Amino acid sequence: MDMHGLLEKLKGALIVSCQAYPGEALYGSHHMAAMAQAAKDGGAAAIRANSPQDVAAIREICGLPVIGIWKKTFPDSEVYITPSASDVLALISAGAEIVALDATRRSRPGGETLEGLLANVRRFSERPLRAGGETESSGSDRTLLMADVSTFEEGLAAEALGFDLLSTTLSGYTSYSRQDSGPDLELVERLSRECGIPVVAEGRYDTPELAAEALMRGAHAVVVGTAITRPHTLSRRFADALKREQPARKAERKNAAVSRPGGSEEEFL
Ligand SMILES: CC(=O)N[C@H](C=O)[C@@H](O)[C@H](O)[C@H](O)COP(=O)(O)O
């Protein structure tokens, strides 16, 4: 499959983000590969995964195209999604068909620039990023680069730098981007209208309806993570809702006891 074939395959598709952090019950490539297989069984067309180990495990088990990222934190920068050229190359070696990286305007670790990073990746990549030459494990003739952005301006800049596709991943996660509890559908719509490369909707799509709306607004595909693959977060939502309900129920029962003929508040207590 060439890069156009891969992008065509992702058109209108669900991409499931399978990520877990150290200390969480599902942390580990084995769990993430099982999660990816379950997502595939449910109709996902691709997987977004963190670290070369998870990318390799997921590709081996479920065989779907993988968008690889590598989250790393540094004391001198807020950038944490695939911060450096060597991270990109490690993900390419692990078999990622697409590598996503922070393309915000924030300063990067070690003072590296986004332009410099792209030049390094192109220079050192074994699977050329701009030339042909299909490799056995590759789903595409070259690894595509996805820009994770937080604003419209960052999207335009990333397209000008030669990224293959954009994702709205970081809207709400930079200090200067729109802060909202829901997904940034306006950003999806604006980028889709103004950019010549595919725009992926990502970040806080927590219902099927919101994901479908993103396609209506022009998204090429939708990435869903937390709402599908983070069961402890989902469990907490339910548990918190029940906890919030308890005082209301208690008050209801108390009112019912007091208003019953012969009933009293003491009886309820
Ligand atoms: C901001 C950031 O670091 N986003 C990360 C990017 O890979 C993941 O933690 C998210 O789960 C992913 O973007 C999917 O979004 P959501 O989990 O909201 O469906």
Interface predicted TM-score (ipTM) of this complex, two decimals: 0.99
Q: What distance in Å separates the CA atoms of residue 56 and residue 45, rounded to the nearest whole number?
A: 17
For residue 223, report the distance from its CA to the centre of ligand 1, in Å.
8
204-255 confidence digits (pLDDT tens): 999 999 999 999 999 999 999 999 999 999 999 999 999 998 888 888 888 8
Query: What residue owns the CA closest to ligand 1's atom 10?
Result: 225
Structure tokens at 28: 């580990």
123-161 confidence digits (pLDDT tens): 877 555 543 444 344 456 789 999 999 999 999 999 999
Domain residue limits, the chain: 3-229, 231-269
48-100 confidence digits (pLDDT tens): 999 999 999 999 999 999 999 999 999 999 999 999 999 999 999 999 999 99
Asked whether residue 33 carries a pLDDT value surpassing 60, the answer given is yes
Q: Would you say the CB of residue 205 lies under 6 angstroms from ligand 1? A: yes
Which amino acid type is present at position 14?
A: L
CB contact at 8 A, 32 and 57:
yes
Looking at the domain 3-229, which fold is it?
TIM Barrel (3.20.20)
Q: What angle do CA 83, 177, 183 make, to 5 degrees?
A: 95
Backbone angles phi, psi at 200, to 5 degrees: -100, 135
Query: What residue owns the CA closest to ligand 1's atom 1?
Result: 170
Q: What pLDDT is stored for residue 138 in this prediction?
A: 46
Give the sign of the dihedral formed by CA 121, CA 147, CA 101, CA 221: negative
Lowest mean pLDDT among 11-25, 27-41, 113-127: 113-127
The single residue listed with the structure tokens 């192109």 is 122
Q: What pLDDT is stored for residue 267 in this prediction?
A: 64
Which SS3 state, helix, strand or coil, does residue 265 take?
Answer: helix
Q: What distance in Å separates the CA atoms of residue 41 and residue 58, rounded to the nearest whole number?
A: 14
Backbone angles phi, psi at 134, to 5 degrees: -65, 135
CB contact at 8 A, 141 and 130:
no
Q: What distance in Å separates the CA atoms of residue 187 and residue 149, rounded to the nearest whole number?
A: 10
- pTM of this structure: 0.90
Q: What pLDDT is stored for residue 133 in this prediction?
A: 40
Lowest mean pLDDT among 101-105, 108-112, 120-124, 197-201: 120-124
Q: Would you say the CB of residue 148 lies under 6 angstroms from ligand 1? A: no
pLDDT confidence bin for 182, thresholds 50/70/90: very high
